[in-house]
Structure formats: structure tokens, C-alpha cells
A and B are shown apart, each in its own frame.
Chain A
């Protein structure tokens, strides 16, 4: 019993359940004292938030800050001794590498949950008529599929940022280790809240939670809001940490424009998630309060305006897709030169294109609202700003193609996924302008075409790159390589299966299949297409299952790989042994002496250990 109690995660989950009960009970008592009767919905909200706070108390997330507030001395993060072995990963660890892996595990768990939800409603869609789900269940699954995978992607982005960025820039840890651990662990109770929306009636709105439907529907939406709100804070605090780390903790000699390109991508991403995330939190908070207190934000009969919600919501949720894809595109630019053995073409332009996408991303949200009744005069400006995003994205594509040109290509598994990512993201990118142009969007809006487009960008911009990243950095984490054969099966199964789903969705979308509906008219003739899409969807599921098996067995039985496996110039490979030691570069100081991507240039170095500088010149 004691042994179980000492595992942070379990202790914290028990705390969360207790906290939720206490919060709900207290609210009930207060209402009773005020002469009001029991109401489940406010109790759910209050219980949800108090439960999350209790979770953090249980995991120990507040103990350091509490001591600081009480005026006690708190040791610096690198002086805290932490338990050895696997238990570390289930508790409040301050090491950025542990936190990175924790993020990664949570991301993969959410990926499989979100993917499984999709398989359930894909099964429903495989033929017309209702087979296994009713309408509310279908809507709940679709909404949760969206939001759970958004959470998964945010966690995956944070995983890469946390694990890799401090190693790349030669920092001993993140700028704020306690905040870093806090922002990971707060995402766990948030996930629990998000998923528990299913238990409390579900919700009907899809992941966008548009009022007035979200103001009226079942109360599962409140837990959905609470979960997203807290995940949002996790993302904001994580982004804050990454920005400060990249700006202030770089090793000697590493100017901004000789940072590894992935650090640029993470910086750009973090700027968006730091600021824009507040707006989705706010929009959901307003609906939450509208439901609880009857505030008239979004109900026209009470002075409100539902379009306001869409403005606030999309101000985050459009830039959010750049949060999702920018790190993935950064991974592509980072790994491509390693496997092509050529300098990255136009480093500065690629770095600036990440910033360019981030900044133009703020100006384009209105293209989600062309058909929802926004002011007519806003449509064309938003169309132009939307198409403008293609320019910095095009810069990246030109850079990749020019990098590939006449390179000495190698094709290990990470490179396969990189190439897959480029192709799939190209498909996703090219299908974008028709949806961003007002005249065509009026026809394509809310059809499966948009679903196909969106999934292509997400797979090309996140799923493929993160698999590449995991295959690539796995030896750095475990000291072993992942199995090559299984990796290739994973790739060659997932890529065609994905292309089939994506093209299939676009095809039926153009023919008029509406999105977010559980049933369709059999006379439309979509049954076969839907069946094929569903089968392909299951194949993606199988391929990811193979990946998980590979992930687990390679940790014990994989080929030992301790050195610079991929012959990379980046410091985490060329200086650091694998698996990476606890205190990063302690005892191995280095400095930056050259350009990051001058592969194939005789005698050039990016980083050198400090005591050897001078000899190498």
C-alpha cells in the first residue's frame, strides 16, 4: 500500500477524486446555506477545477513554491536528488529530459485514445443508417476525437521542445524547471476532465463548441470546457518556459542565427501558444459562465452575439494549427540535412519563415467564418491574409527541395517519415487555398473536403514528423535503436492508408458529403467510399499499433547505439553520449564555432568541446 502511495501519479489521481468530491460538496453546502437546491452542473465545474488543484497538491506541484512563499530556502532544480529508475517518470521530476518523456508518453496515450474514438465513429460511418451509435454519442465522439488529439499534439510538441531544445542549445535545463514540471502535470487532470465529459451526458457541438448549441446542450460540455481550459494553461506555461530558455540559456557563441533550426520553430510556435491560447480559454470560459450564471454573451435574445464567440475562438484555433505544424516542419528542416549530407538551403530564410507563419497566423482567423455571417467587408481581407500564409510555407518547401537536390540521400526510417511528411504536407498545403478563397469556400465549407485537407496538414505537419523525431531521438533517450523492419512496416502501411483516407474524404466532400453528421442518404452513393475510408483508417490504427510494439520492445532488445548514430553536427549528438546523462553537458563544456548545417564541408565544425578549441582551427 505504502509502495503504491509513493507513486506520484496514483497518489495524485486519488487526490483529484477526493478534491472533486470536496469541491462539489462544498458548493452544495454553500448553496444549501443560501437556500438553493442541489444543482449538478455548477457542482461539476467547481468540483472539476478543485479536483485539478488537488491533483497538483497530490503530485507535489506546489510544495516548492509553497516553501518559497513561506520564506524557506528551496534548492535549485539541479541540486534536487530524484529517485532512480522508472519511478521517476511517475512523479514530479524537475529534469527537462524526464518531463519531455512524460509529455511524450501522455501524447502517445492521447494519440491512441483519440485515434480509437475516431475508429469507433468511422465504423458507424462505414455504411449509411445508424448502426452502433446514437446521435449524441456520435457527436461526443467526434468532438472528443478533435480535442483529445489537439491535446495530444500539444503534448507532443511540448515533448519535442522539452527534450530536444535544451540539449540543442546547450542549456543545463529549462529556464524554470518547477514551472516546467507543473505545466506537464496540470495537463494530466485536464485530460481526465476532458475524457470524463463522456460520462456526464457528452456534448453535441463538436470540438468547436459553438454557441448557442453549446449553451443549451447536455452538461458534458462543461467538463470539456474545464479540460480544455487547463490544457490551455499547460500549453501557455510550457511556451513561456521554452521562449525564455531559447532566448536566455544558449551556450556560449550560439547566436540566434546559428541555433539549430528546430529551436527557431519551437520559438515561433511558443510565441503563438503563449498569447493566442488565452483567447480559446476566454471564449470557453465565457460560455461556461453563460451556462452557469445566465450571462448574455452569446444569446441574441439576451443581448449577445454568437459571432463574437467565433471571433474569439478562431483567434486561437486558427493559429493553433500553426502551433501544431511549425515544430513538425522544424523537424523536417532539422533532419533533412543530416540524411542528405548537404547544408540546409537558405537557413536564415527558413528560420524567418517560421516567424513569418507565426505572425501572419494572427491575421487569418476570419476564413473559418466566411459562411457564418461575419461582416461582408471582412471576407476579402481575410482571404488575402490567408493566402499570404502560403508564402512563408512555400519558402520552406523550396528550401527542402533545394536541400534534397543532388544530395547523398540515405533512407533510414526517420528519413522515410521525413519524406512522407513533405509529400503529405504538400497535399495538405495545396488543398488549402481552395478553402481559403471565399468563392470556393462557400461550397467547400463544412464538407468532408475540409476534413481531408485538415487531416493532411496534421499528418504532414505533425504525425509524420513526430514519428520521424521519435525514431531519430530514440537512441538519445534509451541508448538503443528502434527496430528497422518494424519501422519500415509502420511507414509503408501508414502512408498509403493515410493517403486513401485523405483523398477519399476530399472526394466525397467535393461531391457534397457534409461533415459532423452520423448518417447520410444511401442514394448519394457514398457507402463504398466511406467503407474504404474506414478500412484505411483501421490500417492506420494497425500501423500505429506496430509502432507502439516497436517502441516498447526496442527499449529492452534494440540494437545498442551509444555514439553519434546519425552523424549529426548538432551538439546533442556530437558532444553528448547516449543515453543522455542526467545533468546534460556538465563536465563537457562546449562552444559554438561554426555553422549548424555545413554537412559535407571538409574540416568545418559546428560545436567543439571547450578545451579543444584552437587545436581544431
Chain B
């Protein structure tokens, strides 16, 4: 009675949790969409003056982290605790690298400041909101990693891993759209 015991109850709870998470994504997507609209409304077909190589590097870093996140989830669903922990730690490290690349390097070396025109506003707000999500994602992953070390997750019951993985992929998905919108679209 006190905790969810039967598998049927767990399945029901799982379905509820999944739907809740996806609705959150839908909601958050509207916020990111709004920023995307702002970018095209203010800058139109103008490209931001950004360092192309750096953009490609951070994009690839985030993509690789997503790959390892997927690996971590597959590993735990097969009961491979060691592999799960290894993959998740790689994901976290890559996430931190991404943050360092965007906030630490890109923000410092950009050709414009926050308060310099629509370009500055759009660039810092879009990358900033995305970086904020990456940061929260890293925190979730750290929590999942810590609980994983305690052996909280099994091959059958690991919704927390699935949720944090989904969140991480969602952040990646946002960047998949934001990367071309910020770096590649429009004329110089």
C-alpha cells in the first residue's frame, strides 16, 4: 500500500509521468519558439557575426553528449550499471564543455556586447536561455548519477534516467534548431 508495488501501478504511473514530461516540453518549446521568432523578426535575413568554427565545435560537443546520454539509457535498460555510470559521466563532462564553450569562450570573444543592437540582444538571450536549460540538465544528470551510484535504478524501473535523458535530448533538439538559426542562416 505504502509504495507502488504492482507492475500495473508502476506502468500507469510511468505513462502519467511520461505525458507530464512531454507536456512540459511542449510548453517550453513555445518559449524557445518565441525567441526564434524574435530572431527572425528583428534580424530577418541578416546573419549574426559569429565565429563559425567555434559554433561547429560546441554543436558537435552537444551532439556527442546526446549520443552518450542515449547510451546511458540503453545501458541501464539492459541492467549494465557500470556502463550506465560511465556513459552518464561522459555526458555530464561534455555538457560542461558545451557550457564552457558558449558562456566561457563565445560570450567573451563575440564581436558585440549584450547592449549592442538587436544582434547582441538576440544572441545573448537565445544562447543564454539555452545555456540555462543545459545547466539545469547537468544538475538533473548529476542527481541521477548520484542515485545511480547508490544502485537506485534497475533494468525495469529507471524512469528518472529516462526523464533526464529525454530532457537532455530536448535541449539538444533546441540547439539543433538554434544552431542554424544563429550561425548559418541569412546573409552576411
Contacts and interface: CB of A to CB of B under 8 A. Distances in A.
Contacts of B41: 305, 308, 311
B27 A236 contact: yes
Most chain B C-beta atoms within 10 Å of own C-beta, residue among A73, A76, A295, A312: A295
A295 B1 contact: no
B40 to A, nearest CB: 10
Contacts of A75: 2-3
Interface in B1-57: 1-4, 12, 15-16, 19-20, 23-24, 26-28, 30-31, 34-35, 37-38, 41-42
A247 interface: yes
**Top 9 closest pairs, chain A to chain B, by CB:** A294-B115, A303-B117, A303-B118, A295-B121, A278-B31, A278-B30, A71-B147, A282-B34, A69-B143
Interface string A109-151: 0000000000000000000000000000000000000000000
Interface of B: 1-4, 12, 15-16, 19-20, 23-24, 26-28, 30-31, 34-35, 37-38, 41-42, 114-122, 124-125, 143, 146-147, 150, 152
A312 B37 contact: yes
Contacts of B23: 240, 243-244, 274
A281 interface: yes
A293 B114 contact: yes
Nearest to B142: A69
Contacts of A315: 34
Interface string A206-248: 0000000000000000000000000000001000110110011
Interface string A254-281: 0000000000000000000011111101
A303 B146 contact: no
A84 interface: no
Given A296-B116, A296-B121, A303-B117, 20 more contacts: A73-B3, A75-B2, A236-B27, A244-B16, A244-B20, A247-B19, A274-B26, A278-B27, A282-B35, A289-B125, A290-B121, A294-B114, A295-B121, A297-B42, A297-B121, A302-B121, A304-B118, A304-B121, A305-B118, A312-B37
A283 B3 CA distance: 43
A602 interface: no
B177 to A, nearest CB: 16
A96 to B, nearest CB: 14
Nearest to A304: B118
Nearest to A279: B34
A286 B38 contact: yes
A291 to B, nearest CB: 11
Contacts of B115: 293-296, 302
Nearest to B114: A293
B42 A303 contact: yes
A158 to B, nearest CB: 16
Contact of B119 (A176, A279, A303, A308): A303
A79 B34 contact: no
B31 A286 contact: no
A236 B116 CA distance: 33
A281 B33 CA distance: 13
A375 to B, nearest CB: 11
Contacts of B125: 286, 289, 295, 297
A76 B37 contact: no
A175 interface: yes
Contacts of B3: 73, 75-76
Interface string A62-92: 0000000101010110010000000000000
B169 to A, nearest CB: 19
A93 to B, nearest CB: 19
Contacts of B1: 79
Contacts, number: 110
Interface string A172-188: 00011001000000000
A295 B120 contact: yes
Which of B1, B26, B119 has the most chain A CB atoms closer than 10 A to its own CB? B26
A283 B125 CA distance: 12
A302 B16 contact: no
A464 B118 CA distance: 46
Interface in A279-334: 279, 281-283, 286, 289-290, 293-297, 302-305, 308, 311-312, 315
A281 B147 CA distance: 34
Contact of A175 (B4, B16, B35, B152): B16
Nearest to A75: B2
Contact of A71 (B27, B116, B124, B150): B150
Contact of A282 (B15, B31, B42): B31
A69 B146 CA distance: 9
A555 B74 CA distance: 57
Contacts of A279: 30-31, 34
A271 B116 CA distance: 37
Contacts of A244: 16, 19-20, 23
B34 A278 contact: yes
Contacts of B2: 75-76, 79
B69 to A, nearest CB: 19
A295 B124 contact: yes
A296 B113 CA distance: 11
A282 B126 CA distance: 11
11 contacts: A179-B20, A244-B16, A248-B19, A275-B27, A283-B34, A290-B121, A295-B120, A295-B124, A296-B115, A303-B119, A311-B41
A102 to B, nearest CB: 21
A311 B116 CA distance: 23
Contact of B20 (A240, A286, A311): A240
Given A71-B146, A248-B16, A303-B119, A295 B31 contact: no
A249 B4 CA distance: 16
B138 to A, nearest CB: 14
A315 B15 CA distance: 31
Contacts of B4: 76
